[in-house]
Amino acid sequence: MSQSVNVLLQQDSELLWHPYSSLTAPSPVRLVRGASGVRLQLDDGAGGTVEAIDAMASWWCMIHGYRNPVLDAAVKNQVDDFSHVMFGGLTHEPAIRLAERLVEITPASLQHVFFCDSGSVSVEVAIKLALQYQVARGNNGRTRMLTVRGGYHGDTFAPMSVCDPVNGMHSLFTGALKEQVFGPQPPADFDRSADDPELQAWAAAISDLAEQHSDEIAAIIVEPILQGAGGMYPYSPACLRVLRELADRHGFLLILDEIATGFGRTGTLFASEHADVEPDILCVGKALTGGYLTLAAMLCTTDVARTVSDGPGGALMHGPTFMANPLACAVALASIDLLLSQDWAARVGAISAGLSAGLAGARELPAVKDVRVLGAVGVVQLGGPVDLPRMTEAALRRGVWVRPFRDLVYTMPPYVCTDEEIATIAAGITGAIEEAG
C-alpha cells in the first residue's frame, strides 16, 4: 500500500500543479484517504493513516463538515433527477429555489442573481456589470475600480487587478493587468470607532482619491470587515460606511466581495450587516455549497439590473457553460437551509470564544507578533515568514491540519466543531508555533 502511495505522490509531483506551486521545486503534499465530520484521514507515508481536524474547513467552505448526511442526500437526490443541463433557454427548480433563498437572506436591496462556477468568475461578472452600468448611464470613461491595499478577490485577471499589488505580484504582469486605483488599507481592528483619528485620516485619504479619480471610477470593490487571503485582517464597520457614502456621493457602485465572509463566518450572516451597509453588487461563493461543489453567485439591485438590461447591448454579457449547475444549486440550498435551521450565531459565537481563550497563550510566545479573532476566524501573526513544511508537520502531530501563508497561521474551522475540537485546534496551533515558529 505505502509503495503505491509513493508512486502516486511521485506522479502527482510530475503531473500536477497545486495552488501557487512550482513543478521544479514542489512542496510536499499529503494523500487524503477519506474525510468525515471535521476530520481528514491522511496517508502517513508508512502504510497507515493519520487523522487531523481540518482547521481550514477546506479554505472556508466546509462549514457543516465532511460526509454530512443532509448534504450527501441532497446531491444524491439531484443525481437521480439530472446532474446538469445548459442554462440557455432552460431552467430548473434548484436554481430558482436557491436564487429565491439568496435574495431572502442577503441585504434587502439585492433582488437578482447570476450563478457561476467560482468566486473569481463571480468577481469578473460583478466588475463587468459595473462597467456596463456606467456605459448605460453615459459615463463611458468610468472603467477603473477603486479598492484598498491588502485585498484579495481571486486569481483571474480582473479580480487579480484589484488584489493587493504586492501580495498579488502585479509586477509579473505589468502591461497585461488593468491598473486600478488603490487606496490605503483601512486601519486595523474591528472595534475602532468612527471618530478614531487613524480612521479619520484613512477616510480623508480615500475620499481625496475618490474625488481625484471620480470621472474614471466605475465602482468600489472591497471585502467587508475582514480581508481574507490578503492578510486575515479585520477592520472597522465604520470604514465600510465611509465607502458606501463615497460611492453614493460620486455615482460609483459598491461591490462587496463576501466570498470568504458570507454565511455566518464573521458572526453575522453577511459581514456587511456589522456596518448596516447594503452593496449594489454582492459576490458569494466558498461556503455557499457547504464545500461540496464549486458554485458562486453575483447578486445585484433592481436599479443595476434594469439599467444594464436597458442599456447598449441589452444584456449582461456573460454565460458560463456550467452556469447554475443543478447538483451545485441543490446542495447549496440544502446547506443554507441546514445552517438556518440551527442557532448558527450561537455556534459561531462559541467558536469565537473558544478561539479567543485557546489562542490567548500564543500572544506570549516570542515568535508571535499579533493574535486576532473575529467570529469563527482565529489568526496568529508571526514576526517573520512561516516555515510552511515544518509548521504543517508540527500541527499535524497535534492532530490539526493548517495551511499557513506568509507570516500567518490561522483557522476558520467547520461550524460543527465541538468546543473540545476548537480547544484542540487552538492548542495545536499554539504548540506548533512554539515548536516551529
Ligand X SMILES: *Cc1c(COP(=O)(O)O)cnc(C)c1O
17 is annotated as contributing to ligand binding: no
| Per CB under 6 A, 287 contacts ligand X | no
The residue among 285 and 413 lying less far from ligand X, judged by its C-beta, is: 285
178 is catalytic: no
**Residue whose C-alpha cell is 432552460:** 90
319 is annotated as contributing to ligand binding: yes
20 is catalytic: yes
Put the strands of the sheet holding 368-374 in their side by side order: 368-374, 377-382, 408-411
Put the strands of the sheet holding 253-257 in their side by side order: 110-116, 296-301, 281-284, 253-257, 217-222, 144-148, 181-183
- Could you tell me which residues come within 8 angstroms of residue 432 by beta carbon, excluding any fewer than 6 positions away? 391, 394, 395, 398, 400, 402, 409
Residue from the set 206, 209, 246, 260 that interacts with ligand X by CB under 6 A: 260
Residue from the set 98, 123, 324, 330 that interacts with ligand X by CB under 6 A: 123
Give dist(CA 265, CA 271) in Å, integer: 8
First to last CA, the chain: 34
Give dist(CA 148, CA 37) in Å, integer: 37
Tell the smallest beta-carbon distance from residue 204 to ligand X (Å): 26
152 is catalytic: yes
- Could you tell me which residues come within 8 angstroms of residue 260 by beta carbon, excluding any fewer than 6 positions away? 60, 223, 226, 228, 229, 286
| Per CB under 6 A, 285 contacts ligand X | yes
Q: Which residue is nearest to ligand X (CB)?
A: 119
User: Chain-centre distance of CA 35, in angstroms?
Assistant: 22
| Per CB under 6 A, 282 contacts ligand X | no
286 is annotated as contributing to ligand binding: yes
| Per CB under 6 A, 235 contacts ligand X | no
Tell me which stretch binds ligand X (CB under 6 A): 166-174, 244-252, 253-261, 334-342.
Answer: 253-261
**Residue whose C-alpha cell is 447554475:** 324
235 is annotated as contributing to ligand binding: no
Tell the smallest beta-carbon distance from residue 208 to ligand X (Å): 26
| Per CB under 6 A, 180 contacts ligand X | no
| Per CB under 6 A, 153 contacts ligand X | yes
| Per CB under 6 A, 237 contacts ligand X | no
94 is annotated as contributing to ligand binding: no
| Per CB under 6 A, 124 contacts ligand X | no
Give dist(CA 368, CA 380) in Å, integer: 7
| Per CB under 6 A, 289 contacts ligand X | no
152 is annotated as contributing to ligand binding: yes
257 is catalytic: yes
Which residue out of 152, 292, 410, 415 is catalytically annotated?
152
| Per CB under 6 A, 223 contacts ligand X | yes
CB-facing half-sphere around the CA of 302: CA atoms within 13 A: 4
The residue among 227 and 392 lying less far from ligand X, judged by its C-beta, is: 227
Which residue out of 257, 292, 407, 415 is catalytically annotated?
257
Give dist(CA 49, CA 40) in Å, integer: 10
| Per CB under 6 A, 408 contacts ligand X | no
| Per CB under 6 A, 299 contacts ligand X | no
Residue from the set 62, 126, 218, 259 that interacts with ligand X by CB under 6 A: 259
**Residue whose C-alpha cell is 463566518:** 265
Tell the smallest beta-carbon distance from residue 360 to ligand X (Å): 27
Tell me which stretch binds ligand X (CB under 6 A): 254-262, 298-306, 392-400, 419-427.
Answer: 254-262
| Cβ 60 vs Cβ 286: under 8 Å | yes
The residue among 414 and 437 lying less far from ligand X, judged by its C-beta, is: 414
- Could you tell me which residues come within 8 angstroms of residue 249 by beta carbon, excluding any fewer than 6 positions away? 210
| Per CB under 6 A, 107 contacts ligand X | no
- CA separation, residue 344 to residues 64, 107, 347, 415 (Å): 11, 18, 5, 8
Give the cell for residue 19. Answer: 495552488
For the annotated catalytic residues, the residue numbers are: 20, 152, 257, 286
Provide the binding-site residues for ligand X, judged by CB under 6 A.
118-120, 123, 152-154, 223, 228-229, 257, 259-260, 285-286
